[in-house]
């Protein structure tokens, strides 16, 4: 019943010259998404990955278990001196992320171009 | 005398994660028929999903022999949703989650569901069932004539 979460990583460079690891998610983000969310994040080399950008453009459903996975990622990123940003959330999930305080630890952008331009 | 229109829709879900999406879709369809704006429909979908997830996980303890009842009732411009499980109900509402404490490892990263429910609908109450069963959460969302 739950749509499988797919995730892949793209390595980009921002116009300012910073290396950015983009984690692109697709499907639902829920309790079954641990491998896709945390597992994919944990494949990034901590020594060289300093900016992580989460792409939610193709995510339709995020529940509180999925939000908890994002928070777990933010905890690991905080402990590794990484900055996390996100784009592609719907207006509703932008509101939800703001309500729960995620925006305090992960800046949100409308789209990838806006995010890269700011990084 | 003004006629009061009432409608009721019921859904029964298996206690299996993922099936909360059936209740979400049903609630969204009813809310759209009532004329709710898309933004409020999305609020309702998330609140209903979280209520069903709680019922499946904590009320029915993922026991697939038990089902979760979802009853949507409309009275004029008000939509009430009851999500019923076979659990004993809540002892107490959890404290409001604190993102700073979560990030610093002082609080479980989980535990956002009930906060979201309360934040996204006009009323939310958790009611213990008699005989320690059939507990439910009751959500109310109103069509705001000023802004809808």
User: What is the rounded distance in angstroms from the CA atom of residue A104 to the CA atom of residue A86?
Assistant: 12
| CB-CB under 8 Å, B112 with A67 | yes
Has the ipTM of the complex gone over 0.95? no
| CB-CB under 8 Å, B110 with A65 | yes
Mutate to test the interface with A, among B11, B14, B21, B114 (most CBs of A within 10 A): B21
Please say if the pLDDT value at position A77 is more than 70.
yes
Category of B137 on φ-ψ map: left (φ > 0), alpha (ψ -120 to 50) or beta: beta
| CB-CB under 8 Å, A2 with B112 | no
Take residue B75 and report the two structure tokens written for it. 């009275």
Which pLDDT score is estimated for A4? 87
| CB-CB under 8 Å, B115 with A75 | no
User: What is the rounded distance in angstroms from the CA atom of residue B111 to the CA atom of residue A100?
Assistant: 10
pLDDT over 90 percentage in chain B: 80
Output the domain CATH number for residue B100.
Answer: 3.30.565.10
Q: How many domains does chain B contain in total? A: 1
Cα dihedral B4/B42/B29/B137 (nearest 10)? -60
Of the partner residues B19, B103, B119, the one whose CB lies closest to the CB of residue A99: B119
User: What is the rounded distance in angstroms from the CA atom of residue B50 to the CA atom of residue B53?
Assistant: 5
| CB-CB under 8 Å, B49 with A75 | no
Quick check: is B100 in a domain?
Answer: yes
pLDDT 10s digits, B86-134 = 998 888 888 899 999 999 999 999 989 999 999 999 999 999 988 778 8
Q: Among B58, B30, B28, B33, which Cα is nearest to B45's?
A: B28
Enter the pTM of the model: 0.93
What's the domain range around B110?
6-142
Strand intervals (E) in chain B: 6-14, 67-75, 78-85, 123-127, 135-142
Q: Phi/psi of residue B112, each to 5°?
A: -100, -15
Which pLDDT score is estimated for B93? 86
CA distances A88 to A54, A98, A108, A109, B42, Å, are: 8, 14, 9, 7, 16
User: What is the rounded distance in angstroms from the CA atom of residue B22 to the CA atom of residue A81?
Assistant: 41
Interface residue B64 vs chain A (CB under 8 A): no
CA distances A35 to A29, A58, A66, Å, are: 11, 18, 12
Domains in chain A, ordered, with CATH? 6-118 (3.30.750.24)
| pLDDT level of residue B3 (50, 70, 90 thresholds) | low
């Amino acid at each position: 019943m739950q749509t499988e979460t797919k995730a892949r990583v793209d390595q980009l460079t921002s116009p300012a010259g910073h290396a950015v690891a983009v984690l692109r998610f697709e499907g639902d983000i829920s309790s079954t998404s641990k491998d896709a969310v945390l597992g994919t994040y944990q494949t990034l080399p901590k020594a060289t990955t300093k900016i992580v950008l989460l792409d939610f453009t193709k995510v339709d459903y995020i529940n509180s278990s999925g939000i908890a996975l994002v928070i777990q990622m933010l905890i690991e990123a905080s402990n590794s001196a990484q900055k996390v940003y996100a784009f592609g959330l719907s207006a509703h999930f932008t509101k939800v992320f703001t309500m729960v305080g995620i925006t305090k630890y992960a800046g949100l952008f409308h789209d990838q171009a806006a995010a890269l331009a700011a990084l | 005398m003004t006629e009061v229109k009432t409608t009721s829709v019921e859904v029964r879900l298996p206690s299996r994660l993922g099936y909360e999406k059936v209740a979400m879709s049903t609630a969204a369809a009813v809310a759209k028929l009532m004329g709710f704006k898309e933004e409020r429909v999305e609020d309702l979908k998330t609140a209903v999903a979280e209520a069903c997830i709680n019922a499946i996980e904590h009320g029915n303890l993922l026991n697939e022999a038990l089902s979760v009842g979802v009853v949507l009732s409309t009275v004029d411009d008000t939509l009430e949703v009851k999500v019923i499980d076979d659990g004993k109900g809540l002892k107490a509402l959890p404290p409001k989650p604190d993102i700073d404490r979560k990030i610093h490892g002082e609080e479980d990263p989980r535990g956002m569901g009930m906060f979201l429910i309360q934040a996204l609908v006009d009323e939310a109450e958790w009611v213990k069932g008699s005989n320690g069963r059939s507990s439910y959460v009751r959500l109310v969302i109103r069509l705001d004539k000023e802004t809808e």
